[in-house]
Structures are given as structure tokens and as C-alpha cells.
A and B are shown apart, each in its own frame.
Chain A
């Protein structure tokens, strides 16, 4: 195998590990200034998430929704359109699924209702994502701006539905009527909050990876994303591929909203954006837009989140500061150019060596 390629492949892994270490080192320095016991804080951050079964469970349940949005962003990112509607798609998917679940509870069998609800989530996400995609293609409205605005439109639309259409007046908090308990995802690991949604998420990972790498649409999509001029020249329908990729991505985000709502709650309660959509972008970047790597990068993000949560609850560090540390880690991990000079030197040296060997033989 070509040396340069080998170096590039290995380098990504090494780079992420080094980035995490550097980030923790920076965090340690800052913590030394504001904490009485910085080593303890760091220890909680790093090993805390693995210190008990329940905490490890927290990592897994944190992963569930962001696997869906991570897959969503892999599709969007693959065709180079920054459609950030994942956020709104999650809310819309969750809310419309809840409406259907409430309306049809005890009217159709639970298994059928579950399927209907999941399909509604997908459709909601597809619709949410289609709007910025079309605006981009037809009106050349920047897909990034339109999708960010869409997120707020969808948030307030779902807030309206929650407060004026499905709110349970008997509830002390802002929550909808409850749906049939049979609909709620069961816990799959006792004494944790890990629910069956994790299985749905992993099935989606497999589906997305197959679509990406085993089917012609995935291949077309990757070509369009990497070189649209070539795609046009070779006869791939560029516009429809771009729109379809975004719609498929939206379906996964919408489904993620449904799964999260059914897994964590027995009534619909979201009144703010969840942040899962933006996590999805980060995960897709980390996974190098490969859906098969999404669980891994989702695990990394969930691990950092869980560690941060533990630190803010068990130490003297305020939660705001924890968010800063988390930010440092993520920025360094996501920075593609981090250590790139080092990589170039490695490739250059190996090329020089190969040349010298060749000349030696000749």
C-alpha cells in the first residue's frame, strides 16, 4: 500500500488521541487556577463516566439521539450543503409523533401505532429538511441561513401545538396528554436509562452505512459532494441527488426526535431546542462523514458530556466552566489542520526515503 495513504489513515486516529490529551492538559492548567483540587476534577472528568454502571449507562443513553442527528449530518455533509435543520427536525419529529401517539392511543394496536409513529417522525424530518433544500436550489437562498431560521420556525410551531393543541390541563408542567404506556420504549439495561431506542439507532447506522457504501445512491451522493463538476460530466443528476440526500438526512433526524420522545418521556414536553442537531454536525465531522463511524464519535461526545455532568455535580467547579472545558476538547478534536504540518513532514520523509531506495536499487 502507498505510504502516504497509510500515514493519512493512521494519522487521524493518533491526531484525535493527541487532541484529547492536549485538551485535558489545557483544562488542567486552567483548573489549577480556579479549583482547590484540580487533579480530582480532571480525574472525575476522565474516569468518572466509567466509575459506575449507572454512569456508563448515562453515556449510552446520551448517545441515542445524537447518533440519529449524526447520521443526518453525514448525509448533508456528504453533498457539501450545510443544512442545519437537524435541530428543528428533531423537535418536529418528536412533536408530530406525540400528536399521533396521543390521538391514536388505545384505538389501534400498540405495535401498529409504534410503526405509524416512527414513520410520522421520518416524514416530519423529511419535510423540515426539504424546505431549506428547495429554497437553496430554486431561489439560491443560502441553505445554512434558511435552515437556521427554520429551526426557530419549527420550534415555535411545536410550542404552539404543545400549548394550544395537546397540552394536558391537569399537568403541573407544560406537557401534553400521555400516550399509551405500551408505546414507551422499554429499558434494555436494568438500573440505567438506556432504552430500546439504542437498538433503533444502531439499526439506522447499519441502514445508513449500507445506503452510503453499498448502494448506487450513496456512491452518486459521494461523487456529487466531492466533485459536482465531475458528477455532471459523468451523467449524475446533481440537483436531485443534493435534494434527496438532505431529505434522507432529515428523515433520520426526525426519527431521532420520535425515538427520544418515546424513550425518555410518557408525554411531549420539549419547549426549547434540544441541541441534538448541532451535536450531530460535530459528530459527522468527527466521523469524517462516514455513518459507520457515527456510534464511535457519538460515544466520544457522550463520554465528554457525561464527564462534564459528573464534574459539575461532584466538585466545586461551576457547570459553566465545565462547558468551557468541553468546548476546548471538541474544538481540538474537530480541528482538521491540528498537527497537519507534522503529517506533511511524515509523508514528505517517507517519499524521500522511497526515492532514495529506488535510486539505490537502480
Chain B
């Protein structure tokens, strides 16, 4: 029986971004169904629609073959749909039982019946062999156990369909195996599980069917038995539009950025960078491909001085950047197009002008004695608006009134004209329209070739990374796992296999390319 069906779902966000286009997706009772796709393919949006967090423009949802309208998570829960979020929604200072029964506490004489809450939580945990102590404080639990609490929370509210959003991303291999056993147990009990993951070997091991999304479209549902990991990867990544960028071969000059044995442990104690080494020369674009969350952000933050690292060195134009202030790193030749333009790349409430000159307003030539030189600021901004074709009503307009593409143009304009000879471009075209994306890519290539700057391009967009980069590295779990001397001849299927962990290059294979 069909436990759930989403039919012809189209979701357009208020800024005009179409995240889902006519997606049809169904889950049988008692199956584990994988939902896979690249970042931005529309998986999360589709699940938000199912869980009532977003409303689709078109389409219908059926639960147990009855048409339903889900306008809030509460209604979704009522209909037996439960979601385990990637970032846990738990109260660390409360016990497992308190978290699990939150909002539906058993009562006695108008007071919360703590004993009963503990009892039902413990029974449920034992039934599914979760191995939880209902009286333990959630803050004291391991990440794996916290996830069990989340699942229990959904089950106790009567969830028949469980959505797990990249559940294994935070787990150790042992915890993952344990989770899989429990999910299989749930399947035998008649529950359905929607399993969102990037890790294809897990999908192969656990799931019955797989639905592939690409660029907001559904790329079909297939029984796992008919596919292998490479086949899924092809469906996920498959190149459709190839944006050709005309460029001659690079003539790399002397090294600009040298990264040696960079290692970083993040606040959660996870090693996000593990012995990363590479060199970028004048006049070349080094691309870093990889599934998001494999250390790319930490790499760009470590290089640009936003975060500190455990060991290793980063040298820019021969200067060791360790412990330097960001203002000095910038004057040593660094510019950065950050991943998140709205929280890092600009100040929403300040004007286009303020954002465009934020790195150079206090340079001597841009000041009028001790005062800001408004005329100079205006002429600098005018020139940038013209050169980068930024469309805004006036440069005094707050930048938040601009479209995403134009905001990104302001960021790119500032960073490319800062006088730096090295640029980190982290997802430079994410969420911007095709025209702007093309312009940014061409500009990056032109700057590199004509001005001889060095560029580090980090991108989850495979077309972009293959077209724009000269050399290409692949990052997985904080390591460089593959290196290609010429990006535009790399086979995309092969690349996908390195990204997803099906293959790894040896140090010898990568020698000379790093």
C-alpha cells in the first residue's frame, strides 16, 4: 500500500527561485526509500513541503491514499509524518523522557506525571532496542543517542512515515550500523522511512527504492536492485547544460598561495581538515570539488583568517599568515568571495555604496584628511556599478533591496577590485541567476589570465568547477582524495565516484598535481 504520495509538487520561493518542478514521489508502506540529489537539487524543499514547513504552489499530497492538506508541522505529525532534522531540536538540560514527551506530557491531577513519562519512554526505547535511559540528561548523551531521542520523539507521536535528513552525517561507522539495524526493525513493524543521504554505499545497503532529484526535477524512482552506486551517481550528477567558457591554457607563474599540512578540529571535536596541502600559482584557477560539508568551508575560513587551525601553514606571497589580523592578511593580497553573501559578504541595512567600499574607505587615498571622502566613495562605486553592470536604483539604496544576483555582483566587484592578487571564491554563483553566474565565472577566468592573480574556486556546482578550474582537487572528509591536472577533461562520473567515496587516489597518483 502507498503510505504516502506527493504528486506534481511545484514550489517557488518568494524571491522567484524554483526549488521543485512537478515532482511526483511516493513511498510504500514498510519500505526504506532513499531520496538523493546534489545540493540544491530540491530534496530539503520537498521534505519541508511534506512536513508542512513550506506550502507548494501546485500539487497534492496523499497520505494512506487520502488527499490531505498539510499547512504546519503539527498537522504533519497528526497525519503520522515525523521528521528527524539534521540539526537536533532537543533541550539538552532536560531528560530523555522530558524531551520525548514534551508538549504531550502524561498528567495526573493536573500535574505532569513524571513517572508515567519515564515509563512510556523506556518502553518505547526498549521495544525498538534504542538502548536509551529515559532518565538521562540529553546534554550528557552522545550524538548517536541524541538522534535516537529524536526518532523516539517522532515515533511516540504516532509517526508512520519517518523523514531522516542526512542522519549518518554526524555518526561514527559503528553508530551508523546500529541505526541501520533499528531502521530495518521499524520497516518490519510496518513503518516507512524516507532516507536522505549523499553516501551512496549507505543507500545501497539500506534502501529498497531510490528517487533521484536533479535541479528541482525528479529524475525517476528506481528499485535499488536495478542500480549500482555508479548508476545512481550518474543520475544525480549527469551533466545537462554545459556552459562553455573559452579560455586558453594557463601559464602558471610563481607560487602565490602555499598550503602545507593544514589540519583543523572544529568546536565539536571533529577533524574538518586533515593534512591538506596544495599550491596555487599566478595565473591559474585551482578548483575544489566535493559534496558540501566535507571541509570546504573550513578550508576557505582557515585560509582567509576567519578561523584558527591546529597545525600546518598557509603562506600568501611568501608570508606566513598564522596569527595575522584579517586587515593585514587582506593587505598581503587576499580577497574573499564568501559562501554566504547575506551574513558574511555584506551588511543588509547599509547602502550599496557602503558595502562596495567597506574594505577601502579608510585607505589614505580615499579619505579627505580625517574625514570620509563621500565624493571619492561615490565615484568608486559608480565605476563598480558600471563595470559590473549592477542594477540598483541608486547607490544610496540599502543593499537588501537588490536581487540576490546583484548583491553578489557588489561583493564580487569589491573583492576583485581590492588590489589583491589572490582570491578565494567560495560558491561564488550559488543562488544567482544564470546570466550573473556566467558573468562572475568569466570575470574570474579573465582576472586570472590577464592580471595573473591566483584563484581558489570552491564549488558544489560541477559544471562550474569543471569549466572554470584549471587544476582540480576533490575533498572528502577533510582530505584531498583526488587531484586532476586538467579540469576540463575530467570525466564527470569518475569525479562523482571520488566525491562520494567510491574511489580514492593514492599519494603517488596525486604527486605533482597538488
Contact = CB atoms under 8 A, between A and B. Distances in A.
Contacts of B330: 234-235
B347 A236 contact: no
A52 interface: no
Contact of B397 (A2, A219, A226, A236): A2
Contact of A222 (B304, B325, B345, B350): B350
A219 B370 contact: no
Given A215-B372, A219-B372, A230-B346, A2 B393 contact: yes
Contacts of A229: 343-344
A235 B335 CA distance: 11
B370 A215 contact: yes
B170 interface: no
B74 interface: no
Contacts of B347: 223, 226-227, 230
Contacts of B326: 232-235
Given A236-B327, A237-B327, A223 B343 contact: no
A216 interface: yes
Given A215-B370, A233-B326, A227 B348 contact: yes
Contacts of B394: 1-2
B339 to A, nearest CB: 11
A20 interface: no
Contacts of A230: 343-347, 358
A346 interface: no
B348 A216 contact: no
A352 interface: no
Given A223-B358, A230-B346, A235 B327 contact: yes
Interface string A1-20: 11011000000000000000
A4 B361 contact: no
A216 B361 contact: yes
Interface in A202-242: 210, 213-216, 219-220, 222-223, 226-227, 229-230, 232-237
Contacts of A2: 393-394, 397, 401
Contact of A215 (B343, B348, B358, B371): B371
A352 to B, nearest CB: 13
Contacts of A233: 304, 306, 326, 336, 338, 344-345
B298 interface: no
B75 interface: no
B354 interface: yes
A280 B397 CA distance: 29
B319 to A, nearest CB: 15
Interface residues of A, number: 23
Nearest to A216: B362
Q: Is the interface of A mostly helix, strand, loop or mixed?
A: helix
A226 B327 contact: no
B398 interface: yes
A223 B345 CA distance: 12
A235 B359 contact: yes
Contact of A226 (B349, B361, B370, B401): B349
Contacts of B350: 222-223, 226
B367 interface: yes
A5 B396 CA distance: 10
Nearest to B327: A235
A235 B349 CA distance: 19
Interface in B230-245: none
A214 B329 CA distance: 27
Contacts of A210: 371
A232 B304 CA distance: 11
B324 to A, nearest CB: 11
A314 B371 CA distance: 51
Nearest to A213: B372
A19 B372 CA distance: 37
B343 A227 contact: yes
Contacts of B370: 215
A232 B345 CA distance: 11
A213 B398 CA distance: 16
B381 to A, nearest CB: 14
Nearest to A233: B344
A280 B306 CA distance: 36
Interface in A37-61: none
A216 B347 CA distance: 16
B372 A216 contact: yes
B361 A219 contact: yes
B497 to A, nearest CB: 35
A4 B401 CA distance: 8
Interface in B463-514: none
A232 B306 contact: yes
A208 B338 CA distance: 33
Given A2-B393, A4-B401, A226-B349, A235 B343 contact: no
Given A5-B397, A214-B371, A226 B362 contact: no
Contacts of A222: 350
A198 to B, nearest CB: 27
Nearest to B304: A233
Contacts of B358: 223, 230, 234
A62 B370 CA distance: 34
A355 to B, nearest CB: 11
A235 B394 CA distance: 26
Contacts of B346: 227, 230
Contacts of A1: 393-394, 397
A255 B483 CA distance: 64
Nearest to B374: A214
A76 to B, nearest CB: 18
Interface string B102-114: 0000000000000
A210 B326 CA distance: 27
A227 to B, nearest CB: 4
Contacts of A216: 361-362, 367, 372
12 contacts: A1-B394, A2-B393, A2-B394, A219-B354, A219-B361, A219-B372, A223-B358, A226-B349, A233-B345, A234-B358, A235-B328, A235-B359
Interface of B: 304, 306, 325-330, 336, 338, 343-350, 354, 358-359, 361-362, 367, 370-372, 393-394, 397-398, 401
Given A5-B398, A215-B372, 16 more contacts: A1-B394, A210-B371, A214-B371, A215-B370, A216-B361, A216-B362, A219-B361, A223-B350, A230-B347, A233-B304, A233-B306, A233-B326, A233-B338, A234-B359, A236-B327, A237-B327
Nearest 3 A/B pairs, CB to CB? A235-B327, A216-B362, A235-B326
